[in-house]
A and B are shown apart, each in its own frame.
Chain A
Amino acid sequence: MMGLFNKNNDFAKKEMMRIFLAVFIVVAISLVYYFFMRNEAQKNAERRAHEALNATETMILSRLGKIETIVTTMQFMVGYSLDDPNEMDSISIKTVKSSKVILGAGVAFKEDFFPDKGKLYMTYACYDNDGDTLGVEHLRKDDEEYTKEEWFKKGIETMKGTWIDPYYDDVEGITKMISYVCAVKDKNQEPVAVIIADVSTRTIDSVVQSVHVFPNSFCTLVSQSGKMIVSPLHKVEDKSHTYTEEIDNKNMILSVTIPDREMYKELYRSSMIFALLGLFELLAIIFIVLRAARNLMQLHDMKIKEQRIESELSVARDMQQSLLPDALSPELSANVDVRGLLVPARYVGGDLYDYFVHDGNLYFCIGDVSGKGVPAALLMVEARQLFRTLAAHGPHPDRILHDINISASENNKDMMFMTMFLGVMELSSGKVRYCNAGHNPPMIIRDGHATYLDTPPCLLLGIDTNAEYEPHELTLSDGDMLFLYTDGLTEAENKQKELLGEKRALETAEGFNGKTNELIEKMQQVTSGFVGQAEQSDDLTMLAIRYTSASSSLVLKNDFNELAKVKPFIDSFIAKNNIDTSLEPQISLALDEALTNVVMYAYPKNVTGEAVVTMNVVNDEIIIEISDHGVPFNPLNYETDFNIPLEERHKGGMGIHIIKESMDTVNYDYRDNTNILTLTKKIIKIK
């Protein structure tokens, strides 16, 4: 049981490993897919960001361009009016007026450019605090040192103009501005003044703030030095991607910031769905695999159990087969040829056959226990045992069956019964005594002609303890065959549910003239040919017994020339009965001497007479009878006395002495006007 359990455990472990592997593969594929999609989303975001940036840049350039054009006009006008400082106020006012986004504009001259105006002179036009009145201021205290300020320094260097960092206008407070500055040159091309235009970032705020690549994404504009020009409306998030674009020649950097959660929103959503689906899929797979594994394990268990039962049944089958007699059993007589076959429908069957030789008799039986399988086989084994044991009590089939019946009937709770045909054959004569307890009638095949034995059967064994089994007799001649079988033969079934039948079995045996094993092979072939692909429905058992008469006889005339027939006669007898040829010289010697006596002394001269030699095997002895109808003559009375000198010995006495020496027993009898000399010799059989 432990082994079985461990095996299952291994099996489960293997299955679990497979499941884990499957999960791992699914997760790995998902991860690879996720990162691929994430990369794609990022690329997509980047592309969209740059598209938006380019569009925005163009719009900013356009807005700033308008301011630049206004300032360029102012630059030209200032340059034209350099000799009239008073003109500067109107020019500045005009400039401020020309655009709503220009909050203030002015011109600042280098030191001592207008000596009468002071050291420094600057004009600046802007609206007052209420934003209603446009006025001009001149050199305010704060501006005293404007030449040292950043905007002036940068502006004096460029004719073309440049944007400078935004600052919070002191006056306007929170108004965010950027400034555009440029230099004004005199006739000598010397920069003499700087024009400054303060522009509200309003002009570009809307442009920048309206950029929405993704919901919650935002756009910012910063100066090159890092000062915020247009700040985001949104809070900057931790995880985000920022894409930037430098605005040509404007010292500004435009950027788009996309929060990750926006950028990957689609990815997150599809991933979630994908993950849920995957999870569901995995659960389904695990469920299916576990179910399959459980089923497989059950199957595996069943298989192991089946194998164990099968192997036990196979042992039982071997044991049952080993109970069957050995066809080449050496104790079998030479003059009987027996062969049996048992093919169980299952591993073990309820059929049996058995035979053995005891005291010059062949005991044989064939039987069929009701049912199949182990219980039938057990009863069969018991019946066989009884057959073996009871047969030792004598050659009486009726008594043997009677006793088997009593034993089978007692304690027969399951009402298992058994048919049996049981016979005892006297090997010396071929005489068979038999009883049939409800078994199929055996066939007898004589001179190639097959018939069923038509004695009525008696009651089955195991039914009634009082049942009587009537014995019958039959004598087999040389070459006759008895063929016994169980209903597994006649009731062999094909796919069409047809039975082989007694007629077909009889036809198979008809004309047969061969050995027992050949008949059994033939029957088996016919049966399997008939059954075809159908499953064997019942145990198939056959037993064939062929009797070969041991006895041979030879008739001789009282003529020495007749003695030439003796040697071939002995040789054929020896061959027929499987007797060792080393016995031949002694038999020849004895017969030669005995027949010489008959030829010489049995009949008067010139009277023709006969001698009959009969040889037989009974048990393990050769029995030779030499008979004649001549004058009564007992050769035993004429044995030479070897104690008297050679020359005085009786002429014929040496022969009888030789016979006695060669044979085991020598007997003489005279009856019915016949001299009978009987010789016996123990057999040496060929192994």
Chain B
Amino acid sequence: MDINIIEKENVITAVFDGRLDTLAAQQIAETLEPLMQHADQTIILDCEKMPFISSSGLRLFLKIRKEATEKGGKLRLRKVCPDVMQVLKMTKLEDVFEIVG
């Protein structure tokens, strides 16, 4: 799992590349710290190259969302693949996250 964080015009984009299973979630938790610090801004999680997510990954996303909600920022998921979307639906989270194309 690789993560590339790009900051541009007050928008922070985290590009996920790979499977976000429990192990990956454990490994990238630290990498996502900068997002927490900038949770007052707009954060986009680019999921185009992420074919898989488990509950640990979802929990990471929820953590960022909680931080953003508290600090007045915004979180958007971008380009969610069907398999990941399926997981969002089964956990009734598809409406919790703002999902953009």
Q: Does B8 contact A (CB under 8 A)?
A: no
Which residues of chain A come closer than 8 Å to B19, judged between CB atoms?
A: 567, 588
Q: For chain B residues 52-74, which have a beta carbon within 8 Å of chain A? A: 52, 54-56, 58-59, 62, 66
Q: Does A596 contact B (CB under 8 A)?
A: yes
B23 lies within 8 A of A654 (CB): no
**Smallest beta-carbon distance B100→chain A, Å:** 20
A658 lies within 8 A of B54 (CB): yes
Q: How far is the CA of A657 from the CA of B87 in the complex (A)?
A: 10
Which chain A residue lies CB-closest to B53?
A: A589
Stretch in A84-92, A262-270, A557-565, A610-618 with 4+ CB within 8 Å of B: A557-565
Q: Does B2 contact A (CB under 8 A)?
A: no
Q: Does A478 contact B (CB under 8 A)?
A: no
Q: How far is the CA of A658 from the CA of B92 in the complex (A)?
A: 11
**Smallest beta-carbon distance A645→chain B, Å:** 11
B62 lies within 8 A of A589 (CB): no
Which residues of chain A come closer than 8 Å to B58, judged between CB atoms?
A: 654
- In the complex where A563-B21, A563-B23 touch, is A647 in contact with B91 (Cβ < 8 A)? no
Q: How far is the CA of A596 from the CA of B23 in the complex (A)?
A: 9
**Smallest beta-carbon distance A602→chain B, Å:** 14
Q: Does A642 contact B (CB under 8 A)?
A: yes
Which residues of chain B come closer than 8 Å to A646, judged between CB atoms?
A: 62, 96
- In the complex where A585-B52, A589-B52, A658-B87 touch, is A596 in contact with B22 (Cβ < 8 A)? yes
Which residues of chain B come closer than 8 Å to A647, judged between CB atoms?
A: 66
B90 lies within 8 A of A658 (CB): yes
Which residues of chain B come closer than 8 Å to A593, judged between CB atoms?
A: 22, 54-55
Q: For chain A residues 621-673, which have a beta carbon within 8 Å of chain B? A: 642, 646-647, 651, 654-655, 657-658, 661-662
Total inter-chain residue pairs, C-beta < 8 Å: 54
Q: What is the 8 Å Cβ interface bit string for chain B, positions 12-30, against chain A (1 contact, 0 not)?
A: 0000000101110010000
Which residues of chain B come closer than 8 Å to A655, judged between CB atoms?
A: 54-55
Q: Does A592 contact B (CB under 8 A)?
A: yes
Interface size class of B (residues with CB under 8 A): 20 to 34
Tally chain A residues at the interface, Cβ within 8 Å: 23
- In the complex where A588-B21, A642-B92 touch, is A654 in contact with B66 (Cβ < 8 A)? no
B83 lies within 8 A of A560 (CB): no
Q: What is the 8 Å Cβ interface bit string for chain A, positions 568-600, against chain B (1 contact, 0 not)?
A: 000000000000000001001100110110010
Q: How far is the CA of A529 from the CA of B8 in the complex (A)?
A: 77
Q: What is the 8 Å Cβ interface bit string for chain A, positions 434-475, against chain B (1 contact, 0 not)?
A: 000000000000000000000000000000000000000000
**Smallest beta-carbon distance B98→chain A, Å:** 14
Of the residues A564, A658, A662, contact of B23 by C-beta under 8 Å: A564
Select the residue from A563, A585, A588 with max chain B CB neighbours within 10 A. Answer: A585
Which residues of chain A come closer than 8 Å to B54, judged between CB atoms?
A: 589, 592-593, 596, 655, 658
**Smallest beta-carbon distance B47→chain A, Å:** 14
Which residues of chain B come closer than 8 Å to A585, judged between CB atoms?
A: 51-52, 83, 86
Q: What is the 8 Å Cβ interface bit string for chain A, positions 4-37, against chain B (1 contact, 0 not)?
A: 0000000000000000000000000000000000
Which residues of chain B come closer than 8 Å to A588, judged between CB atoms?
A: 19, 21, 52
- In the complex where A585-B83, A596-B54, A654-B55 touch, is A560 in contact with B91 (Cβ < 8 A)? no
**Smallest beta-carbon distance B69→chain A, Å:** 10
Q: How far is the CA of A375 from the CA of B66 in the complex (A)?
A: 83
Which residues of chain B come closer than 8 Å to A658, judged between CB atoms?
A: 54-55, 87, 90-91
Which residues of chain A come closer than 8 Å to B56, judged between CB atoms?
A: 592, 596
Which chain B residue lies CB-closest to A589?
A: B54
Q: How far is the CA of A560 from the CA of B21 in the complex (A)?
A: 10
Q: How far is the CA of A585 from the CA of B90 in the complex (A)?
A: 14
* 20 A–B contacts from the bound complex (CB under 8 Å): A560-B22, A564-B23, A567-B19, A592-B21, A592-B22, A593-B54, A593-B55, A595-B22, A596-B22, A596-B55, A596-B56, A642-B91, A642-B92, A646-B62, A651-B59, A654-B58, A655-B54, A658-B54, A661-B90, A662-B90
7 A-B pairs closest in CB distance: A661-B90, A654-B55, A596-B22, A592-B54, A563-B23, A585-B83, A655-B55
- Interface residues, chain A, with chain B CB atoms under 8 Å away: 560-561, 563-564, 567, 585, 588-589, 592-593, 595-596, 599, 642, 646-647, 651, 654-655, 657-658, 661-662
Given contacts A585-B86, A658-B87, A658-B91, 8 further A-B contacts (CB under 8 A): A560-B22, A563-B21, A567-B19, A585-B51, A588-B19, A589-B54, A589-B87, A642-B92
